[in-house]
Structure 1
Amino acid sequence: MSVSLARLDAVLAVLTMTCALASIASVGAPLTWSGTIPVAIALGLLLLARRRHPVVVLALSAAVLTGAQYAGLFGGGVIWPMTVAVFTAGLASLPWTAAICALTLAAAHAPAMDLARGGAELLWLALVLALAHGYRQHLRWRAEHEARLREAATTRLAEQRLQIARELHDVVAHTLTVVGLHLNVAAEADSLAEAQESIKVASGVRKKAMADLTSLIGVLRDVSGEPQPELSSIADLVSRAREAGLDVTLDERGDPTEVPAAQAMAAFRIVQEAMTNALKHSDARRLLVHLDYSARQVRVEVVDDGTGPVPYTEGHGLTGMRERVAALNGWLEIEADDGFAVRAGLPV
């Protein structure tokens, strides 16, 4: 128990002793060290254990007061001095609290049959139990709310890690594909200059990929912010694909500066993944990248001219692409009959 809670219990114990003595004095009973004062002290000291054993403390308090009533020490009410004990026990178990208090009231007022005083105490008991029930509901709601917040935080963390995993996959897959193609060109080059040029391009792609990976690792370490590829970076993708021997046509319509960051990143990754798949098709020679930026949605279309069916499986890249689009409430179509075509709409 913390120091503040211990102090609170000590204050409540003193208040309970005071209320018990006031209740005893109000009915004209004498305050003596051989009778009523020890009763008040016992009620106060019992509250020091109310957090660990609330129902037991209430039962013992009821026994002390009932015994004092039957011993003739005083004829006052039994619920008022037990208010704190009743409230604490009500938080733990309303049925047990109600049962103990009902038995206490019946035992305390049976000899005198004081219905008026018993009715007043019954109303006070109902009020205290109602407050205990309301506070217990509040505590339960707060615990559930905190649990939901923790779950939401855990979910956000998992989504962030999943997004970083997608970014890593996109960077690595695209880089390996482009570098592999240029190395093949260098291996089959007819002249040293042509081979050196291909290796130089592959080295540049590798260097850019290392910078992207370093940035992503910085996100994992909370050192830097998450990289946000811009739509202007698509031109770099087109340049790399052209250097790899693919005839790429980039058709952009609308104002890319008006596209929100989330849609811009998704569009960039869709184009990157579609280009990576196109570069893997040995028979694809041309690629059309169409981007339409409107006020309602960003439309992305990437189509290559591969001939014949293109077998593919939903790997990390395509799955990540679908998840990106779904997260933005968009739509995605993938066709792999003749060549490879990716069409997506991202609502703004």
Structure 2
Amino acid sequence: MASLPWSSGSSGSGRRARLVDVTLALLTAVAIGAGPAAMGAPLSWNGTFDLGAALGALLLVRRRHPLLVLVLSAAVLIGWQSTGLFEGGWIWPLTAALFTAALGHPGRAAGIGALVLLYGLSPQGLGGPETLARGGVELLWLALVLAAANAWRQYGRWRAEHHARLVQLEQTRLAEQRLRISREVHDVVAHTLAVVGVHLNVAVEALDDSPEEARAALRTAIAARTQAMSELKAFVGELREAPQQGLESVADLVEQARAAGLEVRHDLEGDSGAVPAAQALTAYRVVQEAVVNTLRHSDAGRLTIRVRVRSRELEVTVTDDGRPGTFSEGHGLTGMRERVTVLGGTLRVGAGAETGTEAGTDTGFVVQAVLPLTAA
């Protein structure tokens, strides 16, 4: 059985559907029972009201068996008409049954309605001009019922497609949120572990020969851990708002890189206050990931961080003098690329000679991100 556009499996909708069916059955019984009387015909408890009760009762199961209800309703109507108990029309008493059946089976419903109309207009019934006039009205009513059912069916399809689109959009939004959360957590945790790991190694190596240096390294590792905890706490507490790191927070990364033993040069050109929050956060994360990669994967001694704020774009370039080795994108660089792409920017990563940056060196690793400051 074809599903109807307004059918539903929930208990609340089921109760509403039963209420609608009962109401429709009562209205049909009253309309058929009292309809002829409104046109001047005498009331007949053994004719019109019996027919109205029978057709109304059939409507109580119209949702489960729409075609069967239409066929039985047509048979009952033909029986009443053939015996002379009802002469109020051939199509309009079947309106509710026709409409319901046409929602799932438009062709069959139209065929059944046409057969009923042809039988009613056969030579056994009316003849001459009266037949044509009455047949035209009945045919018009049949067309209107079928057209209304088609319009409702199209509305049901549109509603279902609209709901599916909304569900898909919601799923996409949730997936983007999960991706953003994973990027934020990765950036914070990876950076912290890299910094803490470097200082723990320093502390282990200096513990016997230089206790003060070991203590300083441990204090730096504790400070990095404390900062990471505060960042994670702020992020978890405000998942719907972007973290507050921006270009001014790059200075903290510079200090951490210097504390890890790197010689760092930090250049900032332009008005950093004019950079939107989204671009500023992305630039910060690019620098953070580049610093993590330098601490983890190279033996660099120098690190250059250059931030240029122009009228239409923000350019961030991070260069070290270590060995770039074989390049492969992990979660960090993938997340970095996703961040930049979302804002309509471009990202280049690799050896200095491969990126074509102004830093232009044959050795070392270069990360360069260009972010538009206008709407992406």
Deviation at 1:267, TM superposition (A): 1.0
Is 1:192 paired with 2:211? Answer: yes
Tell me what 2:292 maps to. Answer: 276
Question: Is the CA contact (8 Å cut-off) linking 1:23 and 1:81 kept in structure 2?
Answer: no
Tell me what 1:65 maps to. Answer: 77
Deviation at 1:276, TM superposition (A): 0.8
Q: Deviations over 1:194-215 (max 9, x none)?
A: 1111110011101112223334
Q: Paired residue for 1:137, among 154, 157, 160? A: 154
Q: Output the CA distance in 1 between the equivalents of 2:96 and 2:367.
A: 69
Tell me what 1:121 maps to. Answer: 138
Q: Deviations over 1:66-119 (max 9, x none)?
A: 111111223331211122222222222211211111111112221225222122
Question: Is the CA contact (8 Å cut-off) linking 1:79 and 1:101 kept in structure 2?
Answer: yes
Amino acid in the other structure paired with 2:142: L
Deviation at 1:251, TM superposition (A): 1.4
Q: Output the CA distance in 2 between the equivalents of 1:309 and 1:343.
A: 15
Which range is displaced more, 36-45 or 268-277?
Answer: 36-45
Q: Output the CA distance in 1 between the equivalents of 2:339 and 2:57.
A: 62
Q: Paired residue for 1:206, among 217, 222, 225? A: 225
Q: Output the CA distance in 1 between the equivalents of 2:309 and 2:364.
A: 25
Amino acid in the other structure paired with 1:237: L
Q: Output the CA distance in 2 between the equivalents of 1:257 and 1:131.
A: 60
Deviation at 1:273, TM superposition (A): 0.5
TM-score (norm 2): 0.85
Q: Output the CA distance in 1 between the equivalents of 2:117 and 2:40.
A: 20
Is 1:171 paired with 2:194? Answer: no
Secondary structure of 1:346's counterpart equals strand
Secondary structure of 1:312's counterpart equals coil
Q: Paired residue for 1:330, among 335, 341, 345? A: 345
Structure 2 CA distance for partners of 1:282 and 1:16, relative to 1, 3 Å: closer
Amino acid in the other structure paired with 1:168: V
Deviation at 1:342, TM superposition (A): 0.7
Tell me what 1:108 maps to. Answer: 120
Question: Is the CA contact (8 Å cut-off) linking 1:247 and 1:285 kept in structure 2?
Answer: yes
Structure 2 CA distance for partners of 1:207 and 1:309, relative to 1, 3 Å: closer
Structure 2 CA distance for partners of 1:66 and 1:28, relative to 1, 3 Å: farther
Instruction: Trace 1:72-91 onto structure 2 (pairs within 5 A).
Output: 72-91=84-103
Question: Is the CA contact (8 Å cut-off) linking 1:20 and 1:81 kept in structure 2?
Answer: yes
Question: Is the CA contact (8 Å cut-off) linking 2:187 and 2:332 kept in structure 1?
Answer: yes
Amino acid in the other structure paired with 2:233: T
Tell me what 2:24 maps to. Answer: 12
Gaps of 5+ in 1: none
Question: Is the CA contact (8 Å cut-off) linking 2:203 and 2:213 kept in structure 1?
Answer: yes
Q: Output the CA distance in 2 between the equivalents of 1:26 and 1:187.
A: 102
Q: Deviations over 1:26-64 (max 9, x none)?
A: 676653233332111111222222222222222221111
Structure 2 CA distance for partners of 1:80 and 1:231, relative to 1, 3 Å: same
Question: Is the CA contact (8 Å cut-off) linking 1:16 and 1:82 kept in structure 2?
Answer: no
Secondary structure of 1:188's counterpart equals helix
- Size of the aligned set, in residue pairs, is 344
Q: CA RMSD in A?
A: 2.1
Tell me what 1:182 maps to. Answer: 199
Q: Output the CA distance in 1 between the equivalents of 2:52 and 2:321.
A: 94
Deviation at 1:343, TM superposition (A): 0.9
Deviation at 1:172, TM superposition (A): 1.7
TM-score (norm 1): 0.91
Tell me what 1:47 maps to. Answer: 59
Structure 2 CA distance for partners of 1:67 and 1:28, relative to 1, 3 Å: farther
Secondary structure of 1:333's counterpart equals strand
Gaps of 5+ in 2: 1-12, 353-362
Question: Is the CA contact (8 Å cut-off) linking 2:28 and 2:55 kept in structure 1?
Answer: yes
Is 1:315 paired with 2:330? Answer: yes
Deviation at 1:286, TM superposition (A): 1.4
Percent identity, aligned pairs only, is 54
